[in-house]
A = this chain, B = another copy of it.
Amino acid sequence: MFPKSFKKLIDHFASLPSIGPKHAERLVLYLFKQDKDKIADFAETLKNLKVNLSFCKKCFNISERDLCEICLDKKRDQKTVCVVEEPLDIIAIERTKKYAGLYHVLGGVIEPGKNGGSNLKFGELENRIKKENIGEVILAMNPTTEGDATALYIARLLKPLEIKITRLARGLSTGGDIEYADEITLGSAIINRK
Protein backbone atom coordinates (compact mmCIF):
# COMPACT_ATOMS: atom_id res chain seq x y z
CA MET A 1 0.00 0.00 0.00
CA PHE A 2 2.65 2.52 1.03
CA PRO A 3 5.29 3.54 -1.50
CA LYS A 4 8.47 1.53 -0.87
CA SER A 5 10.60 4.42 0.42
CA PHE A 6 7.81 5.31 2.84
CA LYS A 7 7.59 1.73 4.06
CA LYS A 8 11.33 1.57 4.58
CA LEU A 9 11.35 4.64 6.80
CA ILE A 10 8.41 3.24 8.78
CA ASP A 11 10.42 0.04 9.33
CA HIS A 12 13.38 2.07 10.57
CA PHE A 13 11.24 3.90 13.11
CA ALA A 14 9.46 0.71 14.15
CA SER A 15 12.85 -0.89 14.88
CA LEU A 16 13.43 1.66 17.67
CA PRO A 17 12.54 0.80 21.29
CA SER A 18 8.95 1.55 22.44
CA ILE A 19 7.77 2.51 18.94
CA GLY A 20 5.17 0.15 17.44
CA PRO A 21 4.29 -0.13 13.73
CA LYS A 22 1.21 2.15 13.96
CA HIS A 23 3.15 4.78 15.88
CA ALA A 24 5.93 4.54 13.25
CA GLU A 25 3.35 5.17 10.49
CA ARG A 26 2.15 8.30 12.27
CA LEU A 27 5.70 9.56 12.78
CA VAL A 28 6.56 9.15 9.10
CA LEU A 29 3.32 10.81 7.99
CA TYR A 30 4.02 13.66 10.41
CA LEU A 31 7.56 14.05 9.05
CA PHE A 32 6.24 13.92 5.50
CA LYS A 33 4.20 17.03 6.23
CA GLN A 34 7.16 18.95 7.62
CA ASP A 35 9.46 21.38 5.81
CA LYS A 36 12.07 19.90 3.51
CA ASP A 37 14.70 21.85 5.46
CA LYS A 38 13.63 20.42 8.79
CA ILE A 39 13.75 16.88 7.45
CA ALA A 40 17.14 17.48 5.84
CA ASP A 41 18.50 18.80 9.15
CA PHE A 42 17.09 15.81 11.05
CA ALA A 43 18.67 13.42 8.50
CA GLU A 44 22.01 15.24 8.61
CA THR A 45 22.12 15.18 12.42
CA LEU A 46 21.27 11.49 12.41
CA LYS A 47 23.91 10.74 9.79
CA ASN A 48 26.59 12.49 11.83
CA LEU A 49 25.62 10.87 15.12
CA LYS A 50 28.57 8.52 15.09
CA VAL A 51 30.81 10.71 12.98
CA ASN A 52 31.21 13.39 15.61
CA LEU A 53 30.76 11.26 18.68
CA SER A 54 32.41 8.27 20.27
CA PHE A 55 32.95 6.92 23.77
CA CYS A 56 35.33 8.55 26.26
CA LYS A 57 38.51 6.46 26.33
CA LYS A 58 38.66 6.64 30.11
CA CYS A 59 35.10 6.34 31.46
CA PHE A 60 33.16 5.25 28.29
CA ASN A 61 30.69 8.10 28.56
CA ILE A 62 29.54 9.58 25.23
CA SER A 63 32.05 12.18 24.12
CA GLU A 64 32.99 14.44 21.22
CA ARG A 65 36.70 14.08 22.01
CA ASP A 66 38.99 11.30 23.28
CA LEU A 67 38.09 12.22 26.84
CA CYS A 68 34.64 13.41 27.94
CA GLU A 69 33.92 16.75 29.59
CA ILE A 70 33.58 15.16 33.01
CA CYS A 71 36.95 13.37 32.82
CA LEU A 72 38.61 16.59 31.59
CA ASP A 73 37.11 18.69 34.42
CA LYS A 74 39.94 18.92 36.96
CA LYS A 75 37.66 20.63 39.51
CA ARG A 76 35.79 17.36 40.04
CA ASP A 77 36.73 14.95 42.82
CA GLN A 78 39.35 12.76 41.12
CA LYS A 79 39.34 10.16 43.92
CA THR A 80 35.75 8.95 43.56
CA VAL A 81 34.38 6.85 40.72
CA CYS A 82 30.68 6.18 40.28
CA VAL A 83 30.03 3.03 38.24
CA VAL A 84 26.87 3.16 36.12
CA GLU A 85 25.21 0.91 33.54
CA GLU A 86 24.60 3.44 30.77
CA PRO A 87 25.54 7.00 29.78
CA LEU A 88 21.95 8.13 30.46
CA ASP A 89 22.45 7.25 34.13
CA ILE A 90 25.21 9.88 34.26
CA ILE A 91 22.74 12.51 33.06
CA ALA A 92 20.27 11.51 35.79
CA ILE A 93 22.93 11.63 38.53
CA GLU A 94 24.39 14.94 37.30
CA ARG A 95 20.90 16.47 37.43
CA THR A 96 20.75 15.88 41.21
CA LYS A 97 23.88 18.09 41.68
CA LYS A 98 24.81 15.86 44.69
CA TYR A 99 27.82 14.21 43.10
CA ALA A 100 31.03 15.80 41.82
CA GLY A 101 33.31 12.79 41.22
CA LEU A 102 34.13 10.78 38.12
CA TYR A 103 32.16 8.04 36.37
CA HIS A 104 32.69 4.67 34.76
CA VAL A 105 30.14 3.35 32.27
CA LEU A 106 29.89 -0.45 32.18
CA GLY A 107 27.76 -0.54 29.05
CA GLY A 108 25.13 -2.81 30.62
CA VAL A 109 24.77 -5.49 33.31
CA ILE A 110 25.50 -9.19 33.55
CA GLU A 111 22.45 -11.03 32.23
CA PRO A 112 22.64 -14.76 33.04
CA GLY A 113 21.99 -16.81 29.90
CA LYS A 114 22.55 -13.82 27.65
CA ASN A 115 26.05 -12.62 28.39
CA GLY A 116 28.66 -13.38 31.02
CA GLY A 117 29.69 -9.74 31.12
CA SER A 118 32.54 -10.14 28.63
CA ASN A 119 31.30 -7.08 26.73
CA LEU A 120 31.25 -4.92 29.88
CA LYS A 121 34.03 -2.64 31.05
CA PHE A 122 35.06 -4.56 34.23
CA GLY A 123 38.74 -4.95 33.27
CA GLU A 124 38.97 -1.27 32.35
CA LEU A 125 37.47 -0.36 35.75
CA GLU A 126 39.99 -2.55 37.59
CA ASN A 127 42.88 -1.00 35.67
CA ARG A 128 41.64 2.53 36.40
CA ILE A 129 41.48 1.85 40.12
CA LYS A 130 44.98 0.40 40.09
CA LYS A 131 46.48 3.26 38.06
CA GLU A 132 44.56 6.30 39.26
CA ASN A 133 44.55 7.17 42.94
CA ILE A 134 40.90 6.18 43.58
CA GLY A 135 39.65 6.20 47.19
CA GLU A 136 36.01 5.22 46.73
CA VAL A 137 33.94 3.36 44.17
CA ILE A 138 30.18 3.95 44.21
CA LEU A 139 28.20 1.17 42.57
CA ALA A 140 25.17 2.84 40.95
CA MET A 141 23.62 -0.06 39.12
CA ASN A 142 19.83 -0.10 38.66
CA PRO A 143 18.08 -1.68 41.69
CA THR A 144 17.19 -4.85 39.75
CA THR A 145 18.27 -8.48 40.13
CA GLU A 146 20.80 -8.08 37.32
CA GLY A 147 22.00 -4.76 38.74
CA ASP A 148 22.48 -6.34 42.18
CA ALA A 149 24.35 -9.32 40.70
CA THR A 150 26.60 -7.02 38.70
CA ALA A 151 27.32 -4.86 41.77
CA LEU A 152 28.16 -7.98 43.77
CA TYR A 153 30.50 -9.14 41.01
CA ILE A 154 32.31 -5.79 40.98
CA ALA A 155 32.55 -5.70 44.78
CA ARG A 156 34.30 -9.08 44.72
CA LEU A 157 36.50 -8.09 41.78
CA LEU A 158 37.73 -4.97 43.57
CA LYS A 159 38.03 -6.48 47.07
CA PRO A 160 41.80 -7.25 46.75
CA LEU A 161 42.45 -3.56 45.98
CA GLU A 162 41.23 -2.59 49.46
CA ILE A 163 39.32 0.56 48.59
CA LYS A 164 36.01 1.86 49.94
CA ILE A 165 33.09 0.41 47.98
CA THR A 166 29.59 1.84 48.47
CA ARG A 167 26.19 1.34 46.89
CA LEU A 168 23.37 3.85 46.41
CA ALA A 169 20.93 3.77 49.36
CA ARG A 170 17.89 1.60 48.74
CA GLY A 171 15.45 4.44 48.61
CA LEU A 172 15.08 3.54 44.98
CA SER A 173 12.07 1.40 44.22
CA THR A 174 13.12 -2.19 43.51
CA GLY A 175 12.60 -3.19 39.90
CA GLY A 176 12.82 0.45 38.80
CA ASP A 177 15.19 2.31 36.55
CA ILE A 178 17.72 4.93 37.71
CA GLU A 179 17.15 6.95 34.60
CA TYR A 180 13.51 7.56 35.55
CA ALA A 181 14.02 8.25 39.26
CA ASP A 182 13.02 11.73 40.38
CA GLU A 183 15.84 14.05 41.38
CA ILE A 184 15.06 14.16 45.12
CA THR A 185 14.90 10.37 45.53
CA LEU A 186 18.03 9.88 43.48
CA GLY A 187 19.80 12.74 45.29
CA SER A 188 19.11 11.33 48.75
CA ALA A 189 20.10 7.87 47.52
CA ILE A 190 23.51 9.35 46.64
CA ILE A 191 23.88 11.08 50.02
CA ASN A 192 22.80 7.99 52.00
CA ARG A 193 24.97 5.57 50.08
CA LYS A 194 26.34 2.75 52.22
Closest-by-CB residue of B relative to A55 is B32
A88→B25 CA distance, assembly (Å): 8
Q: How many copies does the complex hold?
A: 2
Closest-by-CB residue of B relative to A65 is B3
A17 near B5: Cβ-Cβ < 8 Å: no
User: A69 CB to closest chain B CB, in angstroms?
Assistant: 8
> Besides A16-B30, A17-B26, 14 other CB < 8 A contacts?
A1-B91, A1-B95, A3-B62, A3-B63, A5-B52, A6-B53, A6-B62, A12-B45, A16-B31, A17-B27, A22-B180, A36-B50, A40-B47, A42-B46
19 A-B residue pairings within 8 Å (CB atoms): A2-B91, A3-B53, A3-B62, A5-B48, A6-B49, A6-B62, A8-B45, A12-B41, A16-B27, A17-B26, A19-B19, A25-B88, A25-B91, A26-B88, A28-B49, A29-B87, A39-B50, A42-B46, A43-B43
